[in-house]
Amino acid sequence: MFFDPVYFLYLAPAFLLAMWAQWRVRSAYAEAQQMPAPLSGAAAARLVLDSAGLNDVAVEAIPGHLSDHYDPRDRVLRLSSEVYQSRTLAAVGIAAHEAGHALQHGMGYAPLAIRNAAVPVASFGGGFSYILMFAGVLLGFPGLVWAGIVLFGGVLFFQVVNLPVEFNASTRAKQQLVQLGVIDQQGLVYVRRVLDAAAWTYIAATLQTLLTLLYYVMRFTGGSRD
């Protein structure tokens, strides 16, 4: 089950897409880092938030590389140190994207609410599903195997719902940066490249989860009769 070469054949398209997406992210980010911006990432995020009336959302610096995220529970936008202080198109693009999530939260964007509600299921299912499948195989209980597969499906559900959330945040980021005069049309080209490249990493992750789920279904239906 765990050393089946068919598994790697199933996931080969996702692996290749993920490698390409990571290369594209590094390339686009490195290029946009060389392009100056009038504001730092923190200042750009603050401007986007304030323009939407979200003055109560804090902007904080955190350690790590590209560890940027918006925390809806504490209503805090956390930016990696590099993004927080850099005055580059890469920094303002990433910061505005995360601010886009805060805008989604503020307006009650439905896909974001669904995604946030699915986080516990995805976090729990990501690890516990393997335990159920492994126990089902060892003990000969098909019901446990299928329970693990269904639980793993929760991870796929989370990632599918997450796609429109990420795409929408990027769209908001680009619109706000242009409307607020932070970037011009030439700067938009670099910001778009960074955000579009990041979007492909989410697509690759979703494809990997989908193909993994299909492999499990194949392995314990048709494959189990071999």
Query: Per-residue pLDDT tens for 60-107?
Result: 999 998 899 999 999 999 999 999 999 999 999 999 999 999 999 999
Q: Enumerate the β-bridge partners of residue 70.
A: 77
pLDDT confidence bin for 4, thresholds 50/70/90: confident
Instruction: Check pLDDT > 60 for residue 223.
Output: no
122-166, pLDDT tens digit by residue? 887 777 888 888 888 888 888 888 999 999 999 999 999 999 999
Range of the domain at 162: 5-225
154-201, pLDDT tens digit by residue? 999 999 999 999 999 999 999 999 999 999 999 999 999 999 999 999
Rounded Cα distance, 102 and 51, in Å = 12
Q: Is 181 left (phi over 0), alpha (psi -120 to 50) or beta?
A: left
pLDDT confidence bin for 2, thresholds 50/70/90: low
Identity at 30, one-letter amino acid code: A
Which residue matches tokens 């918006």? 70
Instruction: Give the residue with greater pLDDT, 85 vs 120.
Output: 85
What is the set of active-site residues? 98
pLDDT confidence bin for 5, thresholds 50/70/90: confident
34-52, pLDDT tens digit by residue? 999 999 999 999 999 999 9
Strand ordering across the sheet containing 69-71? 58-62, 76-80, 69-71
Identity at 19, one-letter amino acid code: M
Q: What is the mean pLDDT of the chain?
A: 92
Rounded (10°) CA dihedral 5, 129, 151, 105: -100
What is the number of structural domains in the chain?
Answer: 1
Which residue matches tokens 């990027």? 170
Looking only at the bridges linking them, the beta strands covering 58-62 and 76-80 are parallel
54-63, pLDDT tens digit by residue? 999 999 999 9
Rounded Cα distance, 24 and 38, in Å = 25
Cα 10-14-16 angle, rounded to 5 deg: 110
Rounded Cα distance, 218 and 10, in Å = 10
Taking a C-beta distance cutoff of 8 angstroms, is the pair 215, 156 a contact? no
Instruction: Check pLDDT > 50 for residue 226.
Output: no
Rounded Cα distance, 36 and 25, in Å = 18
pLDDT confidence bin for 224, thresholds 50/70/90: very low
202-214, pLDDT tens digit by residue? 999 999 999 999 9
Rounded Cα distance, 206 and 213, in Å = 11
Q: Which two tokens stand for residue 68?
A: 């940027």
Task: Give the per-residue pLDDT at 225.
Answer: 44
